[in-house]
Every structure is written in structure tokens, then in C-alpha cells.
Structure 1
Amino acid sequence: MKDILSYVIQSKTLTKLTLSKSSDPKILRTTGRLIALKDGIYLALESFLSDGKAVQKNIPAAQAADIVAALIPDQYRQLNITAAGGSCEVKVSKKGKVTVLNHIKKSDSSCACLTHNREKQYILPSNTPVDFLVALGVQDENGRIFDKKRSKFRQINRFLEMVADVESSIVTGKELYILDLCCGKSYLSFAVYYYFTHIRGYAVTMDCVDLKEDVISFCSDIARKLNYTGLHFIAGDIRSFPIRRQPDLTVSLHACDIATDIVLAKGIDSGSRVILSTPCCHHEMMHQLKPSGKDTDFLMEHSILKQKFADAATDALRCKVLEINGYDVTALELIDPEETPKNVLIRGVKRSHTDPVRIAQLKAEYARICDLLGVHPYLWDGYAK
């Protein structure tokens, strides 16, 4: 393990490392990347805490491998390394058995630029052809990103970073079951499947469901041509789609209006270990918000502000529903707001234990908020009462 760390740090091929399964309940995870400061190369570590705060620390590259290796197994029981030459996973069982799955290939190349303003190092490289990116028209056959697809390329990589951040909660065995609901043209379906099969080396069955038969036919043809045998596209209604088993991950990108609520309901009902959803087109609450003589009426005086408030309130209540149903929830920024106004990602990670008292408090809080606003969201009756 230390040799692998030394190689990716000294060769400057490290893209990202993630330490998880902390022995300290206050620490959710710690991530690391290489940066170049005026006095040399450093490993920038960022620890994410349970209270929402983050703590940063820069370690000189010469000392970084020793320091990170010393954190396992006493402080962390899992280490994931993503580098230019592949990936590596280190796991420590509860009995202390260490398992190392190393898929990093050594090469003479290194990251060309390491500064705070350096060119970003992506999980999917920007100068190497990736089969599904070529097939979907994001790259040419030489790996060049088409100008009109650069924002889509950044979005795909940002989403994969978020998947990687919660990978330890997704992966419970060697075979994964993943859902993509309201999948559309399915850039992310292909990306998530590629990440877990080609980069991480897992066996994956992934069901992608959408109402649009022409889109499903198009994506099915590409999956066949790429020999993505575990990637299935199904035309149908996500509400009636039969799920094979408890999903390890449920994703949905920009499902419109209450379609996002239906996705969340499907994820909750199936007991999905992780849910990643980016909402879109928040019409339901916008139509329900009416002046009622309450102190909140001022929010409805200007239509553009009313819409922004409805968007934020809708997603905040969705987060509350996931909490009520046993998930640790975070709302994140998916990508630069200049590239898309629909930029919130809701992340739910299923808890192993629930607190009935806390759930009752959350339900009461949810009801008070809905009463204050005079709204009745789609998820209230089945998932928050």
C-alpha cells in the first residue's frame, strides 16, 4: 500500500484519494489531491465532518505516503486511490485482514501541471478516448472533447466524483445493482457503468428506465456495440418498473417536476443504499404557493423570486423526506451554475439504524413547514406522515 501511495504521489499521477470508514464518528471521510505551491508539491487533505464542516491540511509530498499509510487501519479502514494509470482499493476487515485491489499501471507520464489553478485532473481523462464518450459524440476517436460538449464532459466527471465520494456506502460485494430512473439520453448511465466496471472492476447489472422509446432504442444499440452486457435500457413507467433486488445505487439526472419525487419514492421503497438525484422544473409547489395573509406572503410578490423560493423549498422538503425515511442527506452543487441553472444534487446515504424519536420530530417539522407555506407536496402522504 505504501509503495502504491509513494508511486502515485512521486510520479504526480494521483488524481484523488479517499479515506473512509473512519474510527471517529465525527469524521465522514477524508479526500486528497496533489497541489503545487511556491515551495513545492503537497498532498492537500480535506476531512469532511458530521457537523457539515471541513478541515484542510497540506502535507509535503515527500512525507505524504508515510502519513497516509499510517492512518490505516487505526483511523480508517478503507482507502481508494484514483490515478492516471488506474485505481486501487485498500480494505481492512473488522478482524484486521487487509485486502489490496491494485489496478494502477505504472508509466513514465505524470500530471503536467500541479497548481491551485492547474488544469483539472478528471476521473475520465480529457485527452484519452473513452469508448462511450466517443459513441455518444462527446469525444472524437483521438480523445479530443468537442467544443460543444465540454460542459457535458465536466458534468459527467463531476457526477463521477460524487459517486466516488460515497463508493464505500454503495459497494457491499463484488456485484452491484444500479438503477437510473428517467435516464434520458443516458450520458450518466454509461458513465456510471463504465466507472464501476472498467475503472473499479466490479460486476454490474444496471437498469435504465425512461418513457421515450426512441431514446431507449438508441442507447440500447450503443450498449450492444460497446459490449456493455450488464447495461440494460427499458422503455416504461418508472412507477411500475419491477426492480430486481435492493439497489446499491439509484441515480436520476434532471427528472422533471414530480418525476423527481417518483424517483425518490422508488429509491426509498426499494431500500436503495445510496440515492443521487438532480431535480428539474419545480412546477408543483410554484402552482400551490398562494398569498394567504401569512408572514410568507412577501415571498410571492415577484414571480421570479417566488419561483426561486419554490425551487429551494421543494428540494429542502425532499431532503427532509429522505431523512424521515432513514437517509443521511446532503444537498450539493453539481457543476458551475453558469453552465446550468438546475444545479442541485440531492444525495441520500441509507443509515444502518434509525431513531424513532428523531423521525417523529422530522415528521412534525415537515408538517409545520407545509402548513406555513400552504402546500401539499407529492411525497407528504406516503413518506412523511
Structure 2
Amino acid sequence: MMNKDGFLSLICDAFDKEIIKKLVFSRPISGEVEKISARLSSHRGRKLLILEYFLPGNTVSHKNLSAEELCEVLSPLIDGYRQINLLTSMGNAEYKISKSGSPVVLGGDALQRKLSGGELFTVKLEPIDREKSYILSGTEPFLRELGISSSDGRVHDKKQGKFRQINKFLEHIEELYARLPKDGEICIYDLCCGKSYLSFAVYHFLTEIKGRSVYMLGIDLKRDVILWCESLAKKLGYSGMHFEVGDILALSSDRKPDMVISLHACDIATDIVLSTATRLGADIILSTPCCHKYLSKRVDAPELDFVLAYPHLKNKISEILTDALRISYLRSRAIRLLLLSLQTPKTRRKTLLSAP
């Protein structure tokens, strides 16, 4: 009778022979992951098993496993679930914990015999990103320098979310491109720029893909970050990129920016960004609000105690109210506003305030 180690070996063998249709972990012994569903896929010629972790609150997270790490990761997962179903093109097997607490594998030996001899019916490996064509491919030099992709242009597994988010942001830039000046140099400010993932992406998009001349200024209070950005821009040959250490509250400019961007300026820094952008007369503002601590610490409405008594709900309502107040501020300045989302199929929703 097959045991746990035999079942693990069967899964790895099925992965190696490309016959897995689905692998489902259910009835957790402990922990907050209610279910794990896995399927075969591929990325840049590498075979992968994609795990989907189903968490409370309709939240799903993903992990991509290569052949080298498969057995090491799956072994402790098997220990954490009372039922695991392996569905393949050659038959199925089920691992479960009996009432006595002993592991039982149904159909495992029969499936193993089928894999050991005779013709195999493999499963077609669908690429991870088959449904999506991205603006960036991963081979761009700035992505390598930012640690998002490797020297051969493969996006690192842990950076897939960041890669998709950057591409999503560039899709919004593409939609707004017609509102930028048709001729001459485009002027863009990145306020509270941090490590400037978006600055480098937007600069590449406008100069390399659109063929435009761009003056881009990134501003942040952190001197070490600015020095790092300056060094990277010089290394990439981005002569139109400039960085300054400074407080954006004191920023003055004789030149009106065509666009102001800001990603995750923390807490009220987002409000300072929006205020500065309107003061400078920016034609386009793209900002993703980050943190809503200011209002969360101060909101006091007895009528809403049934909501505010719960920290999670209090944070959510503070987020909604904060963004609504920011929208009201921009509208009071006669700025036409779009409320967009940076959500991709595999990342958490992030709000994007767009004032074109």
C-alpha cells in the first residue's frame, strides 16, 4: 500500500511526465489556507507547477514551483491537509487521512503502474501569460538593473507582481499619450520618487517605444536613494533623467510639467503630491495613494461604531473616505478626474487617481 512518501513521489513523477491536470489540497489540518489548487504551466521554456492559495476573504495568492523545488515544497504541504486529489490524463489518485489518523492512498499504485510502462497521454502546457501581451518583455536593461529580471530577460518569480503592475501603469500612460504634447520635449515630474521604478519605466516607454524626447525630474528626501537613481540613470544612458534631494512642498519651477506621477507616497505625502501637482499646473496627474493612517487615527463617529469597532473595517472605511476627500480636493480645483485600478488578474487591487 502506497504511503505519504510514495504519493509525493507519484506527484513528482506525474509532473516530470507532464500528465497533471489538477492537484487539489483540501480540508486543512490547521492554518488559514482553506484550499490549494495546482496546475501545470510553462514560462520561457521552463516547466512549472502553479499553486493557487485560497485565503479567507476571497483572497488568492500564487506560487510558481520549478522541477528543482517541487518535492521540497510539496512534502510539508501534504502533512497539512486531510485530503489531496491528484487528477491526471492517465487516471486519478487520492491521499486522505482516515478516521484513525492514518494516511491512505486510493488509486496510487494503479496510477504508478500506468506511469511505469505503456503510452503516456501528456497535458498541454499553457504559458503563464498566454492571455496577456505586455508592453514590456522583461529584456529591457532597466528591468535587469532594478532586479526585476535576470540577465537573460526572465522575470524573477518573486517580481512577477511588480512586473505586471509596471505594465499596467504603462497601459494607462498609453491611454493618456494623446493628451501629451504632440511635438517637442515632454516634461514629467516623479514626486516622492523613491527608487523610481515607474520613472525608469515611463522614460523607457516614451523614449524607446514612442521615440520622444523627455525631461524627467525625480524628487525625494532620501539622499542615498537619489544618488542611487542618478547612478542608474547614468549607467543606462538616460540623459533626460534628473534627480534632486528636496522637499516637494518647497518645489518651484518655471516650467509647467506635462505630467506628474507618484507611486505609493506614504500617508499624507500623497496629499502633498496632489497639492504640489495642482500648484505647478500639471496637465496630467497619476498617483497611487498609499496608507490612510492619518484619517484612521482620527475618525470619530459614534454613528459608525458598528463599523469602527473592528480594526479591519475601520481601515477599509478610512481608505475609502481618504480617497474620496482627495477626489473632492481635485474636483474643487476644477480638475477632471478618473478613478482607475492598477489591479491585474494576479495582483491585489490598487487605486490609481488619474487627472488627465
CA spacing shift, 1:337–1:300, aligned 2, 3 Å: farther
Amino acid at match of 2:250: S
Question: 1:208 is matched with which residue: 189, 202, 218?
Answer: 218
3-state SS of the aligned residue for 1:224?
Answer: helix
2:182, 2:305 → 1: CA distance? 48
Map of 1:348 onto structure 2: 355
- Hey, what's the Cα distance between the residues in 1 that align with 2:223 and 2:189? 18
Corresponding residue number in structure 2 for 1:228: 238
Q: Name the count of aligned residue pairs.
A: 232
Q: What SS class does the counterpart of residue 206 from structure 1 fall into?
A: strand
Answer yes or no: is the 8 Å Cα contact 2:168–2:344 preserved in 1.
no
**Aligned residues of 1:206 and 1:231 also touching (Cα < 8 A):** yes
For structure 1, which runs of at least 5 residues remain unmatched after alignment? 1-113, 350-385
Q: Secondary structure at the match of 1:208?
A: strand
Letter of the 1:347 counterpart: S
In the TM superposition, 1:162-173 aligns within 5 A as 162-173=172-183
So what's the TM-score if we normalise by structure 1? 0.57
**Structure 1 Cα separation of the partners of residues 160 and 177 of structure 2:** 25
- Per-residue CA deviations over 1:205-239 (Å, capped at 9, x if unaligned) read 00001111111111110100111011011111111
Q: 1:256 to 1:300 in 2, by over 3 A?
A: same
Query: Within 5 Å, which residues of 2 pair with 1:5-20?
Result: none
Tell me the distance in 2 between the aligned counterparts of 1:140 and 1:244. Answer: 41
Q: Which residues in structure 2 correspond to 1:147-296 (within 5 Å)? A: 147-292=157-302, 295-296=303-304
Q: Which residue of 2 aligns with 1:331?
A: 339
Letter in 2 for 1:224: K
Distance in 2 separating the partners of 1:303 and 1:234: 38
**Bigger CA radius of gyration:** 2
TM-score by length of 2: 0.61
Which runs of 5 or more residues in structure 2 are unaligned?
1-125
Alignment RMSD: 2.3
CA contact (8 A) 2:161 2:346 kept: no
- Counterpart of 1:119 in structure 2: which amino acid? E
Given the superposition, is the C-alpha separation of residues 230 and 244 from structure 1 closer, same or farther in structure 2, using an over 3 Å criterion?
farther
- Identify the residue that residue 24 of structure 2 maps to in structure 1: none
Q: CA deviation at 1:291?
A: 3.1
Following superposition, the deviation at residue 338 of structure 1 comes to: 6.2
Which residue among 321, 342, 346 is the counterpart of 1:313? Answer: 321
* Counterparts in 2 of 1:281 and 1:236: CA distance versus 1, 3 Å: same
Q: Deviations over 1:66-86 (max 9, x none)?
A: xxxxxxxxxxxxxxxxxxxxx
Report the equivalent of 1:87.
none
Between the aligned partners of 1:311 and 1:212, the Cα distance in structure 2 is 26
Q: CA deviation at 1:299?
A: 2.9
Distance in 2 (CA, whole Å) between partners of 1:138 and 1:246 is 32
Q: Give the % identical residues.
A: 44
Separation in structure 2 between the aligned mates of residue 169 and residue 326 of structure 1, nearest angstrom:
17
Structure 1 residues 283-339: Cα deviation after superposition (integer angstroms, max 9, x where no partner): 1111221134xx444332212111100001100111111111122112111124863
Partner SS state of residue 194, structure 2: coil
Shift of 1:119: 3.3
2:143 counterpart residue number: 133
